[in-house]
A and B are shown apart, each in its own frame.
Chain A
Amino acid sequence: MNVSVKRMRAIFIKDYKEFSRNYAISTMVLMPLFLAFFYQSAGASTLDIYFLPINMTFAAVTTFIQACLIAEEKENNTLRSLMMSPASMTDILIGKSALVFSITLAVVALTMIILGFTPANLLILISALMISTVFYIGLGIICGLFTKTVMEASVAILPVMVIFSLGPLGRGLAETYPVLEVLKWLPSAQLIMLEEYSAAGQTSDVGIALAVITVWTIITLAVASILFKKRMKDE
């Protein structure tokens, strides 16, 4: 695997400059923070409510921003220029994900502080949050590579936002509508369940939840890589 830290850093710095000058996208980071303030002042106390702004961060910040960054590169033909440079696929994908990864972790941390949420086991939750971040970044890369413009990407992302951020709430309706049982396998739902198991000391269940999120992540990254390789060539 051909990896260069210098190249990844160059792409990260470029993305940071672009992101900080693109207010339409950069202001999205405020949304989960506002939501966190709202729930905190409304007296949030359940895990489902604590995790709503966190899962919203993943969908509306991580996936949305990543998809827009990739789609904009495609729209302006800059992605092809990057692909034609000596930067490898790994350099480009990691370089282009590093910014969103850092932003996500910062926003999730702030959200948890605003909500006053103390996890049962910080280390386990941090691991799950980091793996989840990679999953949502992968999802953003797929959305960005599938679409041709930022406009298209911002529309394509809507079902992703609904399914992954609001999906876990559907678990409550699973008794009435058994088909909704499937929602518990979403990585966003597994994240909440992981925290429940962690608080209850059910170590093996924590492991299963972490494994489910990891499997989602691996599949998403594999699809993103295949798609990226396809986009390196015209058809």
Chain B
Amino acid sequence: MTAEINVQHIGKSFKGFTALDDVSFSVQKGEIFGFLGPSGSGKTTLIKILTAQLDHNKGKASVFGIPVHEMKRADHKSRFGLLTDNSGLYKRLSVEENLSLYKDLYKLPDHAIDEALAFVNLRDARKKKVSKLSKGMIQRVTLARALMHKPELLFLDEPTSALDPGNTHHIYKGLRKLNEMGTTIFLTTHDMAEAETLCNRVAFLHEGKIKAIGTPSELRLRHSDQSMVVELTSGEQHTLPLNELTTAGKLEEWMRNQLIQRIWSNEPTLGDIFMEITGRDLR
């Protein structure tokens, strides 16, 4: 597989404050890669570096194999889409007028607007002025704008932070479909459920450093206490170590007597792992 994003020992500091410190990772073509970290951990700084909005002090970074400082060239800019917390929409214009501007800037056919609006479930709001939209609707229009040109790579900075569960589900479905069609997705979030639902791989960023990286199941396994919980029909719960003969013996006995109600492995969530590694939660 080709690395769509390649970051080697990137460092960035602002007037003595270290935002990113020796960050290295790569994102393969077709992946959905999640950067998890609390606010101020350096997630947005990294997206800005990768999209040539900010220079880094140390290390090397490339997108599509092109050094990031060259990403501001028009032909490279049309290869990626970007959604940030600042919508960058024109409030006096309607949803359609906003998208129409970007349709022309990306030189897309007229039906691109319809497709993008359908993707974010906003066809009915096309004539509405942006100033009249809710925060969640604005986020959906911004997302529509980011993916209207069907980019090879999509940078999403907290893509569902202002959305209700129904629309979040709709967006997840759409992002997965987009990914199946070949779009690589790089997203930052502090929502562990979002990362678990969407991402093939995740990295934990804390105080500018990558603390862990891997697939959600790899991380869960790595930080699991290797135990399982058995709930009996009486409601009693037993935590048993995995791969030990005593566990097998007990299980055999309970099964013989048909006492088992439920069994599950005692795996931590991504949030638990983050807490274990950094000593703080993701919010």
On chain A, the residues within 8 Å of B105 by CB distance are: 7, 10-11, 82, 85-87
On chain B, the residues within 8 Å of A77 by CB distance are: 86-88
On chain A, the residues within 8 Å of B100 by CB distance are: 10
A-B contact count (CB 8 A): 71
Q: Which of A13-21, A50-58, A174-182, A207-215 contacts B (4 or more CB under 8 A)?
A: A13-21
Complex contact A85–B93 (CB within 8 A)? no
Supply 4 further A-B pairs (C-beta < 8 A) apart from A7-B105, A84-B51.
A2-B74, A10-B100, A10-B101, A14-B90
On chain A, the residues within 8 Å of B88 by CB distance are: 76-78, 80-81
On chain A, the residues within 8 Å of B101 by CB distance are: 10-11, 13-14
In this complex, how many residues of chain B approach chain A with their Cβ under 8 Å: the count is: 29
Complex contact B86–A80 (CB within 8 A)? yes
Complex contact B48–A234 (CB within 8 A)? yes
Contact of A6 among B53, B72, B104 (CB under 8 A): B104
**Which 9 pairs between the two chains have the least Cβ-Cβ distance?**
A81-B88, A10-B104, A77-B86, A86-B74, A86-B78, A85-B105, A21-B92, A234-B54, A14-B101
Complex contact B104–A7 (CB within 8 A)? yes
Contact of A86 among B52, B55, B106 (CB under 8 A): B106
**B106, closest chain A residue (CB):** A86
On chain A, the residues within 8 Å of B106 by CB distance are: 85-86
CA distance A76 to B89 in the complex (A): 8
Q: Digitize B74-107: 1 where CB-to-A-CB distance is under 8 Å, 0 elsewhere.
A: 1101100010001111111100010011101111
Contacts A21-B92, A87-B105; A80 near B53 (Cβ below 8 A): yes
Question: How far apart are A92's CB and chain B's nearest CB, in angstroms?
Answer: 10
Task: List B residues 190-214 near A (Cβ within 8 Å).
Answer: none
**B107, closest chain A residue (CB):** A6
Complex contact A85–B97 (CB within 8 A)? no
Question: How far apart are A60's CB and chain B's nearest CB, in angstroms?
Answer: 22
Complex contact B77–A84 (CB within 8 A)? yes
CA distance A9 to B52 in the complex (A): 26
**B92, closest chain A residue (CB):** A21
Question: How far apart are B249's CB and chain A's nearest CB, in angstroms?
Answer: 62
CA distance A86 to B104 in the complex (A): 10
Complex contact A232–B104 (CB within 8 A)? no
Complex contact A17–B93 (CB within 8 A)? yes
On chain B, the residues within 8 Å of A46 by CB distance are: none
CA distance A21 to B90 in the complex (A): 12
Q: Digitize B145-172: 1 where CB-to-A-CB distance is under 8 Å, 0 elsewhere.
A: 1000000000000000000000000000
CA distance A7 to B19 in the complex (A): 36
CA distance A87 to B178 in the complex (A): 24
**A14, closest chain B residue (CB):** B101
Task: List A residues 1-55 near B (Cβ within 8 Å).
Answer: 2, 4, 6-7, 9-11, 13-14, 17-18, 21-22
Question: How far apart are B119's CB and chain A's nearest CB, in angstroms?
Answer: 19
On chain B, the residues within 8 Å of A233 by CB distance are: 52-55
Contacts A77-B88, A78-B89; A85 near B107 (Cβ below 8 A): no
On chain B, the residues within 8 Å of A7 by CB distance are: 104-105, 107
CA distance A70 to B78 in the complex (A): 23
